[in-house]
Structures are given as C-alpha cells and as structure tokens.
Structure 1
Amino acid sequence: MLRVLLSLVLLVLVAGCAGIPRTGSPAELPTRAADAATVLAPFEDRAALPAQIAGLPLPEGRAFALLVLIPAPAVVDLSDPERARRGLVQFLNPVATYRAGTLMGHTMAGWRCADGAMGLVSKSGDDRNRGLGMVFRGWGLAAFLSEYADGHLIEPAEMSARHHRVLRQGRARILAVEVDEAGCQAVRRALVAYRQHPNRPERVFTMMRDPADLGGDGCAEFALWLIGHSGALGDLPALMRREITLRDSFVGIGSMPRSPLVTPFVAQGAPDPVPLIALMTGDWSQGRALQQIEVLDLELLRLAFDRVAGIAAPVPARLREDDAQARRLREASDRWVTRFARLHPFRHGRQQALVLMRR
C-alpha cells in the first residue's frame, strides 16, 4: 500500500507530468537532415487534435499561441515547506483524484498560425517511475530534482486517454492568446530546432535546467519556453518561478539508482538518506538548510490561468493572500490582460476555453 501511495506522490512531484506513457513504442528522433515539414507533421495532424482544441473559434487569418493546463488534484503550496507536505498528502485522497479526473497535472503548448497551421505538443519522461526507486533508496525529494534520460515529446495522436477524458469532462484550462504571425512561425521553428538539436534536449527530462540552453527540461518548462517564442505571455513566466530552501528533512542522498538513465540531484552539504516515514510524516520546515534553488511553481502557473478566467467568472484563490510571489504575479497578470481588446469565453461541450484577442 505504501508503494502505491508514494507512486501517486511522485507522479505529482516530477515536473507535474512524469510517467505519461507513450501509446506506441518510442520513435527515433528525426535526423538533422529532416525538413521542417516532416518534423512538424505529427504535431500538426488536425485529425488527431482533441476536439476541444481543434474547435476553438479562432478568426481566420490571425495567429494564436495556445496553452493547455490539466490541473493536479490538490494544491501544493511551495511558499512554505509544511504546507507543501500537507498538500502532497492530499494527493492520497482518492475522492480528490476522482474529482480532478487525473493523478497528476500536465501542460501542453500549441499554435494556430495565420496561414492555417495548427498544432499541439507536450513533454513527459520517467515513464518507468525510476524516481520512485530513488525515494525508496533515501533520496527524498531529490527525485523531484533529478534528471531522467528517457524524455520524449507527445504528439496529438499519442495523447493519453485520461487527458482526453479530462478535456471531455471540462476540467482542463485552455488559453488562446493572439500573437503576430511572425511570433507564431517562431514557435514552429523553435520546435523543429528543439527536435533536431545535437544535444537532444528532448531526451533529458528535468526541471533543473533552463530550457533556453537546449539541454533538457520538464513539461511545463518546455511548454512555456516554446510559446515564449511568440511573445504571448510577456514577462509572466519569470514570475512563475519560486526560490525554495532545500532541507535535510526532505532531501537526502541515498544509494545510487540502478538505471544509467537516472542522474541524481545531489544537494550541497551531503545530507544523510531520508527515511520514507520521515518524508511522509515529518516537518519539512525543520532540519538543516542545504541550499537555495529556483523552480517553476506549477501553482503559480495555475494562478495566472485563474486570474484571466476570473474576468469571466470568479475563481476561488488557491494560494495564500500574503504570498508575496503570488501577489506579484496577480498584479502582473492583471496588467498583462489589459493588452487585449476582447476576452471571448468559448465552450466545447463541457470544456471552456478563453480566447484573448487584440481586436
């Protein structure tokens, strides 16, 4: 039973979208000689796009960047270690998981250019839950910060059944932001460059690298980096990052993973292993401080979505009012949305989307 519970926790931890299996066998990455049309074709397969994306009422001849968020079942508040621990424990609640329609969150990026090209892509990794083995070997949440060399992009045809179900149930967040055509085409070029880069960043699944360095990334980091080429979100992504103090109460150094596909995160200060019971029930605000890191906070990403959605209908707050980073992002989101002349709520079945238009 403990292994099952920890599996759920780890699915939440590793960049919010680990362990999403491919529907087929992993394909070889395209060669650097492949032309752009060949690289983009599986991501721009209109027939494979979810109906909730393909059916967006986007005016012809105009360009849009798309962001799709499948929320996690509970709030993980990274502004406070103990609140984060209690939030993760909520993922063990089967009622919350059932209501959310998913065991974990996920982020997808998309585009619909003025020339009619439309596509969707996301990233996952650690399909075999090797990070779970690290937790059992005493690494604690270092599994969350480690690198997994089995990363892969997910094409629309490979989208999981549970994510299709979340869209049908109306539990996703969909945002379409009007951009200029040059920005939309820049997104497409960036995806081609990413797939063909000699560093093979697609294969490295981690949240501790800067996607701009093309050395690897996680799913939300990849999605924001990709649509960032369009300029859609302005400076908002920088405010979605949060500094965290790692402590030896929840980050340790355990025995080495058995798989060569795992590069463990080794915190400064050489902490001891973290026993499972201490990780699950201990006070994460206690313990020796090891080092400061900065990560993309998925709750802050959700906050930006909800701030825009709140214009159409009230959205309950998920983070504390006295959270300074959340306050800065709320203020920036309010300023950002004033750039757009129209906010068009759209519903496809039970799923709502928000379309921001310049005119």
Structure 2
Amino acid sequence: MGDEDAALRELRALRSASLPPGVAQFVDRMSATLQANKPLGFQLEFGLAPDSNINRATRSDTLGTVLGDFTLDEDAKARSGVGAMVRGLAQARFPLSDSIGLSARASGEANIYRDNDFNDITLDLSAGPQLRLGRTRLTAEAGVTGQWYGMEAYQRAWRLSLGGTQPIGSRSQLRVDATARWVDNKFNNLQDGHGRSVRARLERALSPRLLVAGSLGLDRFKAEDDAYSTRSWTAGLSAYRDIGRITVNAGVDFGRLRSDEQLALLPESRKDRWARFQLGAVFRNLTVAGFAPVVRLVVERNQSTVEYYDYKRTRTEFGISRAF
C-alpha cells in the first residue's frame, strides 16, 4: 500500500512472536527488503578478530635479489594478533520521481591492535544517481576512499563507477559494474597511478532457502613505475543457506596477478596466485535488542614469485551485527 513505516512496525511485531520457521524466514526477508528501500539506513558490526597474519606479510627470513639474499626486518615478516574489528555503513536515498533518485553512502572498516603500527583503517564516501527502467536498475557513482596504516595515511583513491542490475527470469539476477580509479600512494610515489576494472556477478535462488552466486572480475592498473603496474583477474563462487533463523554462507575466490616488469633488484617480475576461503554464520535466533551474533572464518593464501608478497593467513571473527 506504500506505507513502509507501518509495514515495518507490523513486521517487527510479528518477529517478536514465536513463528514457524518458514513464516519467520518470509518475515525476515520482507523486513530486509523494506530496510533496503528506506530513505536512511545504518548497519553496524563489531567484535574480536584473532588473526595469524595481521600485516599480510611473508614468513620468509630473506628476500632474493640479483645481489643475493637480503635479510628481512622482523616488522616486514608475518605477525599474529587479536584485534578489535568495527565495520559500519550509512546510506541515504532521495527519490526525485518514481524512476529517478539520488543515493549517498558512507562506509568504514577498522582493525585495531595493541601495537598501533599494525592498525588498518579505511573510510569510503560516495554519491550518485539511480535510474529504474522497467526491471533494470542503473547506477552512477563518484567516490573517494582513504586508507590509514599504522595510524599514518597510506593511500587515497578517487573513482567513477557505472553499474546495472537486471533480473533474469524469476530466480536469477545479473549485476555488472565498471570502475575507473586514480590512486595516490602516500608511502611510495612510484605506486601512484590509474586503473580500470569490470566485474560481473550472477545470483540464482535454487530454493527459498538456498542462494548461489558466481562472480568474475578483470583489472588493469598503470602505475608511475612499470614494476608496480599490474594485470589481474579474480573469480568466485558463494552460497547462502537459511537453516531456521540461522544464515550460513560459504565462498571461495581465486585469482591471478602479474606485473609489467620486474624491480631492478629482483631476479624476476611479480606473478601471484591468490586464493581465499570464507565460512560464516549469522545467528538471528539469538538476537538481543536487535543485535545478532556473527561468526566467520577466513583463510587466504597468496603464492608469489617475490617473497615479499608471498603469505598465508587465517582469520576468525566473533562479533555482533545490527541494521537500523
């Protein structure tokens, strides 16, 4: 009927009752859909994150060069730790007509450790128009991202993005995004440059409780120094399964990267083989005051011809999440 606030109130009242699992899932999905269309929305997640490699660094003691092996400093090697993890997202929508609107987003992520040298903080701001043509949704966006590492400015990036979402039948949806970015690296001017990327993601509901998604991305980055210029691709497959009021997700991603040239001191150019596995769950059946427990396990492996980029990492997250 168009009265979203009243509908959300009724759904909240229903969620407070003891509902059969199938009805509870329907209520949760309807509520999530209405939340996504709210003029103003917030999401917050925080917790603890034990990590075997907080700096994504190598475990090798040396770096092979054309002059022989160089010994790596302890700070350049893998360090483990337990950090406080915080993620947040705020978004606003301003409808101009039934088919045209404006949106703005602010998001951030921080991993804070006892040793401030390894603190990693990222903030992102973006805004742009949205257009609906029948069942097709088109978006354009301008944004800026800032990253701080060790409490010092690490890099800043500006981007322009175009995207489109198209339903395919009643069970599938395809989204394609193309992005241009410009990067200013505060630690090394030779890594300044510009990049182009394109990414496609196809989602399909196999049943009311099971959704699978596949993705493919291509990226080209041209830096001031060709040794830092790269070409890469990534691919992934993920699945989401509702078990009562628990949502379980699993995903695997892998990719390849290669640099245009080698650094003068290195015997060969950089070539990476990267893989990532994630398993997580959101326990909405244990919600208290709107906050639901979240658990994740992430395993990463990057195999590189340059020891400096070769690393292994296992990270677990224990936290709580809520949408407002």
When normalised by structure 2's length, the TM-score is: 0.28
Q: Which has the larger radius of gyration?
A: 2
What TM-score, normalized to structure 1?
0.26
More strand by share: 2
The higher-RCO structure (CA 8 Å, 6+ apart) is 1
Q: Report the structure, 1 or 2, having the larger helix content.
A: 1
